[in-house]
C-alpha cells in the first residue's frame, strides 16, 4: 500500500497539472481576446502568477477540501481512505479530459468535490459525507458566479461613465497597460484557489501514511502543487481558450480589465474565507457581466447555457465515475 500511496500522490499532482491545462483559459482568455498579449506570452504570465500564489494566501481552502467534504475519520482503515482518494482523483481527471475535449470550461474544483462525494458514498455510505461542507460548496457554486457577474457589470458601468469623454484610442491605450496587471492578479488568485485543492488531498494521504501526525500542509506540498498547476497552465488548453475568449462575447481592453479585476477580487475573498469556488465559473460569469453592459444580446446566451449545463452536471457526473472506480478498484485490492 505504501507504493500505492506514492502513486496516488503522483496522480494528485497530475490532476493539478490537468487542472492548470484545463483552466488555463480562466487566466488568459480575456487578455488574449483583447489582443493585449499573444497566447504564448499570456500563458507564461499566467504560469508565473499561479506559481507565486502561496506568497499571498493561507491554506484554508486546502483544509476545507481535506477535512470538510468527507468525514475521513469514518474510513474503516487507511487502505480504504487511500482508495477513496484515488477514485476521487480518477473521476475528476476523466471529467476534466471529457470537458476539455468538447471545449467546455467546467470546474476542476467541483469535479474533485464530486469525486470525493462519490467515492465516499461507495466506500462508506451517506454518513461519510459532511453535509455542511458540501452545502457550502454547492451554495457558492451559485453565489460566486452571481457576485462575479454583478461586480463586473458594476465596474464596467463605472469605467464607461468615468471615461465617456475620452477617445476610444486613449481608453484602449490606458487599459491595455492596466489589463496586464489585472490579468496577472487574476492568475495569482486562480493558482491559489485551484492548487490548494490538491494540497488538501496530498496532506490527507501523508496523514494516512503516517508521515504527518496532524493535518498541516507542508511547504514541499505547497510548492509541488503550484509547480504542477503552473506547468499545466503554461502548456495551455486552447480549445477552452477559444470558448472563453471568443464565443461568449467580444471584449475590448477595458472590458477585459473589469472582468479580470472583478473575478480576482471574488477569488481572493473566497480564498481568505477558505471557501473552494470555481475559478472557471467566476471568470465566465464576469465576462458575461461585462458583455451585458453593451446590451444583453452581446452575450451569446446559447453558449452560456451550455456552459451552465456542464457546471450542473459536474458534481453528479464525477461522483458517479468515482463511485464506479472505487467499486472496481476495491475488488482488485
For residue 194, what are the domain limits? 2-332
- CB neighbour list of residue 273: distance below 8 Å, 6 or more residues apart: 60
In a 3-state reduction of DSSP, which class is residue 71? coil
Rounded Cα distance, 271 and 192, in Å: 7
Question: C-alpha distances in angstroms, 132 versus 67, 70, 126, 277, 307?
Answer: 11, 10, 13, 15, 26
pLDDT at 305: 67
Least Cα distance to 95 among 22, 166, 164, 154 occurs for 22
- Rounded percentage of the chain residues whose pLDDT exceeds 90: 34
pLDDT at 245: 47
pLDDT at 236: 63
Whether the predicted pLDDT of 297 surpasses 80: no
pLDDT at 190: 83
Domain count, the chain: 1
In a 3-state reduction of DSSP, which class is residue 165? coil
Whether the predicted pLDDT of 58 surpasses 70: yes
129 phi and psi angles, rounded to 5 deg: -85, 135
- Residue 94's CB is within 10 A of a number of other CB atoms, namely 18
User: Using an 8 Å Cβ cutoff, are 323 and 120 in contact?
Assistant: no
User: The C-alpha cell of 192 is what?
Assistant: 491559489
Question: Which of the pair, 153 or 296, is modelled with greater confidence?
Answer: 153
Q: Say which range, 96-105, 120-129, 237-246, 280-289, has the weakest mean pLDDT.
A: 237-246
Whether the predicted pLDDT of 129 surpasses 60: yes
pTM, 2 dp? 0.85
Highest mean predicted confidence (pLDDT) among 15-29, 39-53, 138-152: 138-152
Amino acid at each position: 500500500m505504501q507504493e500505492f500511496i506514492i502513486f496516488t500522490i503522483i496522480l494528485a499532482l497530475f490532476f493539478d497539472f490537468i487542472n492548470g491545462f484545463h483552466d488555463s483559459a480562466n487566466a488568459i482568455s480575456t487578455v488574449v481576446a483583447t489582443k493585449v498579449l499573444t497566447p504564448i506570452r499570456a500563458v507564461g504570465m499566467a504560469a508565473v502568477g499561479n506559481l507565486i500564489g502561496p506568497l499571498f494566501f493561507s491554506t484554508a481552502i486546502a483544509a476545507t477540501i481535506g477535512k470538510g467534504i468527507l468525514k475521513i475519520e469514518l474510513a474503516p482503515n487507511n487502505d480504504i481512505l487511500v482508495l477513496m482518494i484515488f477514485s476521487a482523483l480518477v473521476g475528476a481527471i476523466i471529467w476534466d479530459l471529457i470537458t476539455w475535449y468538447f471545449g467546455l470550461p467546467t470546474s476542476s474544483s467541483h469535479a474533485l468535490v464530486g469525486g470525493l462525494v462519490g467515492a465516499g458514498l461507495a466506500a462508506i455510505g451517506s454518513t461519510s459525507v459532511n453535509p455542511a461542507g458540501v452545502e457550502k460548496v454547492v451554495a457558492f457554486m451559485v453565489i460566486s458566479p452571481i457576485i462575479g457577474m454583478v461586480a463586473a457589470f458594476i465596474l464596467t458601468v463605472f469605467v464607461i461613465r468615468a471615461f465617456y469623454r475620452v477617445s476610444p484610442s486613449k481608453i484602449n491605450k490606458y487599459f491595455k497597460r492596466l489589463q496586464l496587471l489585472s490579468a496577472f492578479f487574476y492568475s495569482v488568485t486562480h493558482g491559489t484557489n485551484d492548487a490548494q485543492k490538491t494540497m488538501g488531498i496530498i496532506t490527507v494521504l501523508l496523514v494516512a501514511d503516517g508521515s504527518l501526525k496532524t493535518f498541516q500542509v507542508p511547504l514541499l506540498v505547497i510548492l509541488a502543487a503550484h509547480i504542477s498547476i503552473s506547468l499545466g497552465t503554461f502548456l495551455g488548453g486552447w480549445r477552452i481558450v477559444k470558448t472563453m475568449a471568443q464565443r461568449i462575447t467580444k471584449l475590448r481592453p477595458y472590458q477585459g480589465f473589469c472582468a479580470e479585476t472583478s473575478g480576482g477580487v471574488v477569488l481572493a475573498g473566497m480564498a481568505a474565507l477558505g471557501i473552494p469556488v470555481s475559478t472557471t465559473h467566476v471568470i465566465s460569469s464576469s465576462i458575461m457581466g461585462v458583455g451585458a453592459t453593451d446590451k444583453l444580446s452581446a452575450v451569446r446566451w446559447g453558449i452560456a447555457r451550455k456552459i451552465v449545463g456542464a457546471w450542473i452536471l459536474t458534481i453528479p457526473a464525477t461522483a458517479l465515475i468515482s463511485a464506479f472506480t472505487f467499486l472496481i478498484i476495491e475488488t482488485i485490492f
